[in-house]
Structure 1
């Protein structure tokens, strides 16, 4: 017996397979922008776009080996 989640995953895979590579890249960029906006608005007061991007990048780098280059880029 297939679950609803299994069915939705299969539908998503089918829909993504029908996209061209350019359409997949455009979709990934749109999803990234959507998620950045959600993160930005989740703070009170809402963060500036650049500050939200910097915070996400810092979180992504947390626990990794220090790199002066990356630190200069993300503050």
Structure 2
């Protein structure tokens, strides 16, 4: 159970996102993704390509092998 302040902040954030157009939501998602990659790069002292590769590898941990994974690498 969260605090009242956290709950109200989440509600405000939800209303703000709900008021966005689909294009604005996609743009927000891209900005957040880029900010996350930049933070990962800075934290680990690595370049963008390495950061993206590590993030993708982390997403695959614990999952079964899929033929589409090999297709993504080519």
- 61-70 or 12-21: bigger deviation: 61-70
State TM-score, norm by structure 1.
0.84
Report the count of equivalent residues: 71
Q: How do 1:48-63 residues align onto structure 2 when only pairs under 5 Å count?
A: 48-63=47-62
Q: In structure 1, how many angstroms separate the alpha carbons of the residues matched to 2:24 and 2:48? A: 25
C-alpha root-mean-square deviation of aligned residues, in Å? 1.7
**Higher relative contact order (Cα pairs below 8 Å, separated by 6+ residues):** 1
1:17 shift after superposition: 1.1
Q: In structure 2, how many angstroms separate the alpha carbons of the residues matched to 1:10 and 1:56? A: 29
Q: How do 1:18-29 residues align onto structure 2 when only pairs under 5 Å count?
A: 18-29=19-30
1:12 shift after superposition: 0.4
1:70 shift after superposition: 1.6
State TM-score, norm by structure 2.
0.85
Q: Which contiguous aligned blocks of 4+ residues in structure 1 show a shift greater than 4 angstroms?
A: none
Q: In structure 2, how many angstroms separate the alpha carbons of the residues matched to 1:38 and 1:61? A: 21
Unmatched tracts of structure 1, length 5 or more: none
